[in-house]
């Protein structure tokens, strides 16, 4: 199938896809889920190409794999675990069995406990030594940070609880800056770590406890923990009443729907958090029910496969025209790159096609004034993924929102159409002539024919954010299934962790002679300058 796809891609490579884009194509090459609309008409995928892409799904038995995931089979085979983040938003669904036991009573019980605690923090029923909680500090990294940090920012217009801060980096600059802005007597610290062993998080948690202990008589009383490790949280001294647990079938980068979302729930309240879960559940249902060609996560994944594995475009830019989604690219970097950055297939063979792409991006319109130059005129093609809401949150400034939307649509149009030499010449005619006119015009030519997709929605509210994140999660699942990899482990991050542990004593003065010349020289330089 890959051969057929590559042959097809080669045959249509030089076609200008804008010639395909009429009103029918806009309907045919788009998908809807609830109020969300996904347009992939501005790509070079045609009916034949799409049919070949869809054939890939049958070849890998995507339907069977989807059932396996939702029903709790241990599809994370290298860790022997189920992959059931969907259970965390299965608010009114049926039982979900892991090893024959229904996990839903525990999931819903924990959700209720979180809601009670979040409500108490927000109302002041839960207090710090100095009174009502004014600040929440979430200490976590990777999936224990990026989800709630992105979500709190995305839902800023709904934020009516205490201020929320996120500390992730072991760099002391991160925690010092946050703690400086908080009063320990009215601060709640949430230690978010699935394993409760991650060195950055545990180091920052101890620093926060010491900071609080300087002015609060019972610092552990103002700590909560989000973790699968009961022993770890108990050893840290956190009362079990404020420990919110989850099971190992929730991967770190898929965990914001459960306890890891506690800071977000405290920020926006339990009802809004439930709306966020409902949005995701809505996308889950769509993903399970819609035909492949109408299925938004499936088609988003196939567009990704087309651009990355078939056409060879190695990066994709995520460009939200929604400033509150400014951390979405960082969130998706972990979701997509930690999931599908794998070079070995499920059967232990080297992958014969490219692994997932590099994901990067920034909100529009800011990116336009920074790196879009390369997207429009650079020599490499970068497929762009635009996100845009019909309405913002400030009705009095709706004219600014309209300008934002105009910019978003203008970019995908410019990428597709480009500007040829004739048009470029007409822009500078009168200023230059002869060969200088040609030379000047050439610099103003845009090749165009550059693909993009657009995800549009009415407004970025909690429900919509849930839809968006679940959409991307399922896209990762489909891309991983087509590539034949395990999207749910992350062995590639282990080596660096082991070497950092081994290097720490060397940095502190132990003998560096066993190290390679470059590392030893760098240690020497940093020691000379006081490390």
**Which parts of this chain interact with ligand F6P (CB under 6 A)?**
141-144, 193-195, 198, 201, 252-253, 338, 490, 493
Closer Cβ to ligand F6P, 85 or 286, answer by number = 85
Whether residue 349 contacts residue 415, with contact meaning beta carbons closer than 8 Å, is answered with no
Q: Choose, from 214, 231, 369, 528, the residue flagged as catalytic.
A: 369
The three-state secondary structure class of 136 is: strand
* Residues in contact with 105: Cβ distance below 8 Å, sequence separation at least 6, in sequence order: none
Tokens of residue 29, six digits:
């090459």
Contact 428, 354 (CB under 8 A): no
- Report, in Å, the least distance between residue 144 CB and ligand F6P: 4
- CB of 148 or CB of 320, closer to ligand F6P: 148
Question: Closest separation between CB of residue 338 and ligand F6P, Å?
Answer: 6
> Closer to ligand F6P at the Cβ: 186 or 227?
227
What is the rounded CA–CA span in Å between residue 278 and residue 257?
10
Kindly tell me which of 87 and 205 has the beta carbon lying closer to ligand F6P: 205
Query: CB of residue 297 vs ligand F6P: minimum separation in angstroms?
Result: 21
Tell me the backbone φ, ψ of residue 262, rounded to 5 degrees. Answer: -60, -45
Name which of 458, 457, 456, 432 is nearest 443 in CA terms.
Answer: 432
Question: Which ranges of 315-455 does DSSP label H, i.e. alpha helix?
Answer: 328-332, 339-340, 372-377, 398-417, 421-428, 434-443
315 dihedral zone (left: phi>0; alpha: psi -120 to 50; beta): beta
Is position 338 annotated as part of the catalytic site?
Answer: yes
Nearest residue to 334 (alpha-carbon basis) of 131, 141, 515: 141
497 is catalytic: yes
Least separation in angstroms between residue 146's CB and ligand F6P is 8
CA 107, distance to chain mean position in Å, is: 23
Catalytic residue among 200, 247, 336, 338: 338
Closest distance of CB 514 from ligand F6P, Å: 25
In the complex with ligand F6P, which residue's Cβ is closer, 257 or 321? Answer: 257
Nearer to ligand F6P, 144 or 186 (CB): 144
CA-based nearest residue to 387, from 414, 370, 407: 407
Half-sphere exposure of 96 (CA within 13 A, CB side): 26
Please say whether the beta carbons of 398 and 391 come within 8 A.
Answer: yes
Paired with 266 in beta bridges are none
Q: How far is the CB of 195 from ligand F6P (least distance, A)?
A: 3
Q: Which residues are catalytic?
A: 338, 369, 497
């Amino acid at each position: 199938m890959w051969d057929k796809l590559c042959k097809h891609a080669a045959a249509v490579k030089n076609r200008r896809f804008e010639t395909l884009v009429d009103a029918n194509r806009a309907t045919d090459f788009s998908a809807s889920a609830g109020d969300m609309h996904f347009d992939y008409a501005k790509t070079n995928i045609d009916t034949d190409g799409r049919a070949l892409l869809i054939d890939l799904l049958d070849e890998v038995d995507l339907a069977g794999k989807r059932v396996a995931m939702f029903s709790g089979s241990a599809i994370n085979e290298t860790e022997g675990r189920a992959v059931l983040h969907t259970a965390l938003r299965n608010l009114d669904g049926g039982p979900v069995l892991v090893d024959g036991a229904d996990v839903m009573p525990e999931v819903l019980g924990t959700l209720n406990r979180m809601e009670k605690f979040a409500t108490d923090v927000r109302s002041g029923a839960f207090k710090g030594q100095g009174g009502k909680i004014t600040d929440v500090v979430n200490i976590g990294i990777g999936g224990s940070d990026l989800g709630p940090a992105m979500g709190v920012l995305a839902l800023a217009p709904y934020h009516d609880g205490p201020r929320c801060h996120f500390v992730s980096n072991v760099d002391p600059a991160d925690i010092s800056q946050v703690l400086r802005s908080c009063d320990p007597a009215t601060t709640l610290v949430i230690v978010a770590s699935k394993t409760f062993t991650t060195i950055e998080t545990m180091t920052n948690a101890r620093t926060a406890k010491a900071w609080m202990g300087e002015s609060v008589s019972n610092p552990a009383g103002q700590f909560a923990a989000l973790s699968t490790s009961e022993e770890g949280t108990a050893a840290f001294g956190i009362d079990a009443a404020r420990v919110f647990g989850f099971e190992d079938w929730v991967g770190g980068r898929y965990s914001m729907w459960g306890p890891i979302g506690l800071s977000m729930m405290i920020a926006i309240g339990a009802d809004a958090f439930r709306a966020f879960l409902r949005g995701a559940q809505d996308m889950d249902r769509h993903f399970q029910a819609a035909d492949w060609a109408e299925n938004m996560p499936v088609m988003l994944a196939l567009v990704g496969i087309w651009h990355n594995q078939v056409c060879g475009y190695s990066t994709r830019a995520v460009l939200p025209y929604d400033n509150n989604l400014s951390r979405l690219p960082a969130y998706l970097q972990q979701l997509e790159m930690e999931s599908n950055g794998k070079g070995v297939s499920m059967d232990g063979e080297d992958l014969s096609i490219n692994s997932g792409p590099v994901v990067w991006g920034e909100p529009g319109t800011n990116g336009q004034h920074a790196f879009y130059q390369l997207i429009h005129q650079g020599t490499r093609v970068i497929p762009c993924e635009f996100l845009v809401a019909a309405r913002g949150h400030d009705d009095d400034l709706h004219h600014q929102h309209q300008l934002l939307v105009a910019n978003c649509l203008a970019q995908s149009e410019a990428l597709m159409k480009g500007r040829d030499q004739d048009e470029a010449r007409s822009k500078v005619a009168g200023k230059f002539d002869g060969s200088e006119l040609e030379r000047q015009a050439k610099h103003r030519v845009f090749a165009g024919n550059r693909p993009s997709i657009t995800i549009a929605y009415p407004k970025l509210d909690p429900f919509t954010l849930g839809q968006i994140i679940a959409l991307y999660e399922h896209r990762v699942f489909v891309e991983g299934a087509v590539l034949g990899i395990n999207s749910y482990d992350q062995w590639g991050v282990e080596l660096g962790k082991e070497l950092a542990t081994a290097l720490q004593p060397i940095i502190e003065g132990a003998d560096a002679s066993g190290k390679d010349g470059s590392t030893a020289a760098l240690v020497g330089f940093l020691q000379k300058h006081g490390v």
